[in-house]
A and B are shown apart, each in its own frame.
Chain A
Amino acid sequence: KNQVEQSPQSLIILEGKNCTLQCNYTVSPFSNLRWYKQDTGRGPVSLTIMTFSENTKSNGRYTATLDADTKQSSLHITASQLSDSASYICVVSDRGSTLGRLYFGRGTQLTVWP
């Protein structure tokens, strides 16, 4: 069964600190993996996409990594800000259909305290 597991479920950090969120998946065949940020009461917004051949990709203070062999991805947030408080969702797409079926994790709820 294709699954996407995220950890931790929730995380509290102080402003200015770094943190790393984890995503493990069993989706096969793999097409790509996206990290989304969902602010409270809003829809998710894509932060970054990782394809099979990519190991690391940065988007400002966000850095995503992908290990296709172990089927693990991480999202590292540097110098956290209050506005980083949100749910971060890992979404994996397969290559099994034209639609590119999407598998969602349950998200990591990040809270940044001042």
Chain B
Amino acid sequence: EADIYQTPRYLVIGTGKKITLECSQTMGHDKMYWYQQDPGMELHLIHYSYGVNSTEKGDLSSESTVSRIRTEHFPLTLESARPSHTSQYLCASSPSHRNTGELFFGEGSRLTVL
């Protein structure tokens, strides 16, 4: 059982609101990721981090930002939400010492912007 948690699980907000999706893991993993997932589509990497104070943008252009002040915490922020941001957001982590491609996912945050 993976120890990675996302909150909120579901969020419905109006256009222009600022939101933060929380992600925490208790496995001590250095690598953390945010993916966006839409129905019937592959997961798209939007942000990743190799460790504290390290953040990089992923393949999919995103207006969101992330921070990594603590190893266990990797929050994602949208300053001004729009309907196009409606999606499922998945947080994941992986250990640095094994490059086997195994990701441990949270249960996801489903965001709906009206």
Contacts and interface: CB of A to CB of B under 8 A. Distances in A.
Nearest to B45: A102
A106 B40 contact: yes
B41 interface: yes
Given A9-B40, A106-B40, A45 B99 contact: no
Contacts of A107: 40, 42
Contacts of A102: 45, 101, 103
A83 to B, nearest CB: 16
A77 to B, nearest CB: 21
A65 to B, nearest CB: 18
Contacts of A45: 2, 105
Given A32-B101, A100-B99, A106 B107 contact: no
Category for how many chain B residues contact A: 20 to 34
B21 to A, nearest CB: 13
Interface stretch (A15-23, A36-44, A66-74): A36-44
Nearest to B6: A43
Among A43, A89, A91, A107, find the residue whose CB has the most chain B CB atoms closer than 10 A: A43
B107 A34 contact: no
B108 to A, nearest CB: 6
Nearest to A46: B102
B107 A32 contact: no
Contacts, number: 57
B113 interface: no
A106 B41 contact: yes
Interface in A28-72: 31-32, 34, 41-46, 49
Interface residues of A, number: 23
B78 interface: no
Contacts of B42: 4, 89, 104-107
Interface of B: 2, 4, 31, 40-43, 45, 48, 50, 90, 92, 99-103, 105-108, 110
Given A43-B2, A104-B43, 18 more contacts: A31-B99, A31-B101, A41-B110, A43-B4, A43-B92, A43-B105, A43-B106, A43-B108, A44-B105, A45-B2, A49-B101, A49-B102, A91-B101, A98-B99, A99-B31, A99-B99, A102-B101, A107-B40
